[in-house]
Structure 1
């Protein structure tokens, strides 16, 4: 039996532990999985939103959804509302919604093309014309129904959750399933012939056959094996700091089932509602604004109506490892790479990294072929996400600050995206445009929400009959009627989750 040492806890360490333990030790114990976690080093713990695919991770781990949500103070996330990313339109703040679904109610062309040909952009936002989630949030509903199964709903959804509580929840579940939790602080890493022999800690040395670096931006293990192994994305994604504020709910409000991302002077602010508080923060370019001014701008934006519980300043290292797997060590989470949290991809990249590592480790013969394959894919995934995030910035027409005046030029560092933007002014953005890419979650449907939300519209020169157009959108309207009847009010759904927590832990 081999030993797999995971150094570092947090979401990365414990997601990796529970996944790899389940993958390799389901029938026969192939690995002793250890998590070496320092009691003295806290986790960042501010990443509180997810993409919808994280449900598949939790479900595959056999976790009960109601228990998960109750233990992490979670709410449902139906998508992200973007505000102020362009100049006001007709005196109104610019906004668009990026939901987790796009409907295709049938017809000779897709609903997006029909939306343009039918001239519907004069009467509704693009997302309102093609997404059920866009209407659920207006009704105050979430995708879950009274009889929805674990991780199932009328349409895809993600979560807002407390990242610190998630790590504790996963730790408890992993230990119950046989993972060994070692509380120790790493003091040194013993390396020989390009491999890690052991980690030295204040509780002794721990040898292993394979190591996972989950030590965050420090990359404590991987840095010992290969220096100069970081590719920065600062040339196109200059936001390198954040100030995060946890605060009480404004009086008389219920948690929203969507994230809000509002553009400020030198970056953007997030607002994420949990059942017990709101998490907010300002992701900004420190070359344009100081930490003190960023905190002041965030507090002014939030207003005085709710009490601040906690304020934290964070440094961010935006980019990725050129080689995520070196020798007998692979990095997972922030030590592997980081894309600013605009589209909530942190947990997704942990899920992607650890699940891909499992399939590669399962057949590894030491030749390096599988290691090289893993490194190529992980670097490609980060490069793909980089371009999708740049898309949000480069289409802005704001000129009220240095930051926003520089934003359109960020596309110059993304050759693939730069080549596609003129194309998407002449044709619909479609799945085939992504052939050969490393898209891991964001494809044509997601690009359409950003492109058309930012008013980067195609000019389509074909016609459809009134009857055909009416049929497509009538069928979409019927989908909305069924969705409204089959889903719960978000606040009522959360009350049921709270009742579940009481039954689990006692009054």
Structure 2
């Protein structure tokens, strides 16, 4: 089954990474004329991991660019809309009340003078309201389980940015169907090895024959079947900064009759944190934990205790997580995308985002058999920067904790020592607001100064600002913010009502 055509791309592995990459490259390169023969070899025997089922808001742009109908996407994946993440229990309770804050995808920009973040600090509002409740529309929407859609909202548009909760297995099937309809070749076969010459793959061997190509994309998950065969000692572990290396995932029935919540919940437990993600038909839950401190049996029991005796469990699975990224993402004529490229724990729902980055960057670097080494180096440098930038953002969530109830949480503040830039910035942010210029020039692709502020101030890392503010001006500014939030709530609909209209 050899294919000797020039300019062929073979993607080994399906799932979200394989089919997102195939659809992206096919849409970009073959929409006007056929430039690449694109093939996906997918094993029917290897399941999809699907750690977490949530996305960041930028994934909307991928789906829109692929020409996918948003309503169809939600119907086919049992999807719902997501406005952000509610963090609970990441610090000690205060006056018996569980610590919590919300990280949305947006922030209002109000006033002509002082920015709203500085005004919030200087006016002393932090003693009576959460930062996110004061400055964002989304906090008002989630309080009423509203999605950011109005009666006139266009596809992929809303009053604030939003992401999705999606069934990962159904998403892969949906993307596969779309990609195949557009001309991507789909072969069901199990790849057993690759035939190489130096750092170049000549062919992949399967239980259904041998397949050649000019370029290969490794989407084989943590196995890294192709990339590992080309280059040894090609992994940079993040375990020192991010020690959570295992997860137990439980699917259960939706816990109440109010339908899917339009946000993800991340609740800190004894040795990590638990996610709760509402789809149309069920809830995905899981416990991301440090396997050096907790056994899989203990982790599962803690998660079940957290969910309660009436959890109505549908499915339970245990997962090993390889936290880190490649040193070289592009070796010879092979690029790793998805879990084979790297993995950051799913605290901020960045899995599909990193796949999108990998595929998009590959497209601009032109995937050919013969390329200059500078192209490979450029791709690897940028992808490594994306993962490193994300690593420090995730560390930010841990290192500011004041919890001391377990060894895990007592050790959490020291993780910042493995992200020197963040460590120095935290000292600076004790005395000034976090602003755009602090992060300018970084590899940040989705989390900017606004996102950092939600975490910093949600975790009570507030700057000591001494400038006085006009009380009347402050009240006017936040009254305007509250009015905007109330208007957004009035214009939008509840998640349940929105989802019920998808089949009309």
Q: Same fold (TM over 0.5)?
A: yes
Report if the CA contact (8 A) 1:255-1:273 is conserved: yes
Q: Which residue of 2 aligns with 1:11?
A: 16
- What TM-score results when the alignment is normalised by the length of structure 2? 0.97
Q: Which residue of 2 aligns with 1:177?
A: 182
Q: Supply the distance in 1 between the matched residues of 2:100 and 2:77 (Cα, whole angstroms).
A: 30
Q: Supply the distance in 2 between the matched residues of 1:402 and 1:354 (Cα, whole angstroms).
A: 39
What is the CA deviation profile of residues 417-457 of structure 1, one whole-angstrom value per residue up to 9, with x for unaligned ones?
00000100100000100122111111111110110000000
CA apart distance, 1:107: 2.5
Farther-moved stretch of structure 1 (359-368 vs 92-101):
359-368
CA apart distance, 1:362: 6.5
CA 1:364/1:117 → structure 2, altered by over 3 Å: closer, same or farther?
Answer: farther
Q: Supply the distance in 1 between the matched residues of 2:446 and 2:288 (Cα, whole angstroms).
A: 23
Q: Which residue of 1 aligns with 2:84?
A: 79
SS in 2 for 1:361: coil
Q: Supply the distance in 1 between the matched residues of 2:241 and 2:144 (Cα, whole angstroms).
A: 37
Q: Supply the distance in 2 between the matched residues of 1:41 and 1:484 (Cα, whole angstroms).
A: 44
CA apart distance, 1:305: 1.8
| 1:235 equivalent in alignment to 2:240 | yes
> Gapped runs of 5+ residues in structure 1?
501-507
Q: How does 1:77-476 map to 2 (within 5 A)?
A: 77-361=82-366, 366-476=371-481
Report if the CA contact (8 A) 1:320-1:379 is conserved: yes
Farther-moved stretch of structure 1 (361-370 vs 268-277):
361-370
Q: Which residue of 1 aligns with 2:3?
A: none
Report if the CA contact (8 A) 1:251-1:306 is conserved: no
Q: Supply the distance in 1 between the matched residues of 2:372 and 2:439 (Cα, whole angstroms).
A: 32
SS in 2 for 1:400: coil
Report if the CA contact (8 A) 2:53-2:166 is conserved: yes
CA apart distance, 1:364: 8.7
- After superposition, the CA RMSD in angstroms is 1.1
Q: How does 1:45-56 map to 2 (within 5 A)?
A: 45-56=50-61
CA apart distance, 1:371: 1.1
Report if the CA contact (8 A) 1:132-1:483 is conserved: yes
SS in 1 for 2:380: helix
Q: Which residue of 2 aligns with 1:505?
A: none
Q: Which residue of 2 aligns with 1:60?
A: 65
CA apart distance, 1:335: 0.3
Farther-moved stretch of structure 1 (474-483 vs 485-494):
474-483
Count residues with an aligned counterpart: 499
SS in 2 for 1:90: coil
Farther-moved stretch of structure 1 (10-19 vs 144-153):
144-153
- What TM-score results when the alignment is normalised by the length of structure 1? 0.97
SS in 1 for 2:268: strand
Report if the CA contact (8 A) 1:251-1:305 is conserved: no
Q: How does 1:12-51 map to 2 (within 5 A)?
A: 12-51=17-56
Q: Which residue of 2 aligns with 1:503?
A: none
Q: Supply the distance in 2 between the matched residues of 1:415 and 1:462 (Cα, whole angstroms).
A: 30
CA 1:262/1:36 → structure 2, altered by over 3 Å: closer, same or farther?
Answer: same
SS in 2 for 1:27: coil
What is the CA deviation profile of residues 294-325 of structure 1, one whole-angstrom value per residue up to 9, with x for unaligned ones?
00000000002231100000000000000001
SS in 2 for 1:76: strand
CA apart distance, 1:180: 0.4
Report if the CA contact (8 A) 2:214-2:369 is conserved: no
Q: Supply the distance in 2 between the matched residues of 1:101 and 1:212 (Cα, whole angstroms).
A: 34
CA apart distance, 1:250: 2.0
CA apart distance, 1:145: 1.3
CA apart distance, 1:239: 0.4
| 1:490 equivalent in alignment to 2:492 | no
Q: Supply the distance in 2 between the matched residues of 1:134 and 1:364 (Cα, whole angstroms).
A: 49
